[in-house]
Amino acid sequence: NAGVTQTPKFQVLKTGQSMTLQCAQDMNHNSMYWYRQDPGMGLRLIYYSASEGTTDKGEVPNGYNVSRLNKREFSLRLESAAPSQTSVYFCASSEEVLGGRETQYFGPGTRLLVL
């Protein structure tokens, strides 16, 4: 049971380049999330997906697009990378827990540097 996996682990881009960050979970969770974490800061939600085929914007969606390919996979795309998108990106998935709230399980992160 791998949990939440992310690829790549590290990436360096030049300004204007595009790339897709991949995320997959094997826990049969309905919900998946993308967060970014800047140095010394907490996590901020970029996009989330409540179920296959649905996506919604989070706190900082500008400059990003997402695709919920199937129940397992949720990808994050940067169409034209900017230095301000240099960050660590975390994917998460969640289940319903008894008592009405969800525990989120996080991947190991993708470290992105945009030059």
Instruction: By CB under 8 A, name the binding residues for other proteins.
Output: 4, 30-31, 33, 35, 40-45, 48, 50-51, 56, 58-59, 90, 92, 94, 96, 99-109
How near is the Cβ of 101 to other proteins at its closest, in Å?
A: 5
Residue 44 or 77 with smaller CB distance to other proteins: 44
| DSSP string for residues in 35-103 | EEE-TT--EEEEEEESSTT--EE-S--TT-EEEE-SSSBEEEEESS--GGG-EEEEEEEEEE-TTS-EE
The minimum distance between CB 81 and other proteins, in angstroms, equals 22
